[in-house]
Amino acid sequence: MTETTEPLCARPPGRPRSERAEKAIIEATLDLLVEEAGVAGVSIEAVAARAGVGKTTIYRRWPNKEALIVDAVAALKAPLPELPGRSVREDLIALTRAVRSGRADRRIDCVWNVIGSRHKHPELASKLRRDVIEPRREVMRGVLRRGVEAGELRPDLDVEMALSVIVGAMTMQVQALAPDEELADDVAERVVDTAMRGFAA
Residue 153's DSSP bridge partners are: 200
Are 173 and 191 in contact by the 8 Å Cβ rule? The answer is: yes
- Please say if the pLDDT value at position 59 is more than 90: yes
CATH topology of domain 17-74: Arc Repressor Mutant, subunit A (1.10.10)
Q: Rounded CA gap, 44 and 66, in Å? A: 10
Residue 200's DSSP bridge partners are: 153
Which residue ranges make up each domain of the chain?
Answer: 17-74, 77-199
CATH topology of domain 77-199: Tetracycline Repressor; domain 2 (1.10.357)
Where is pLDDT greater, at 170 or 146? 146
- Please say if the pLDDT value at position 4 is more than 50: no
Where is pLDDT greater, at 63 or 116? 63
State the Cα torsion 130-136-140-143 to the nearest 10°.
100
Span 81-114, pLDDT tens digits:
889 888 999 999 999 988 766 555 667 767 777 7
Where is pLDDT greater, at 39 or 88? 88
Q: Rounded CA gap, 53 and 57, in Å? A: 7
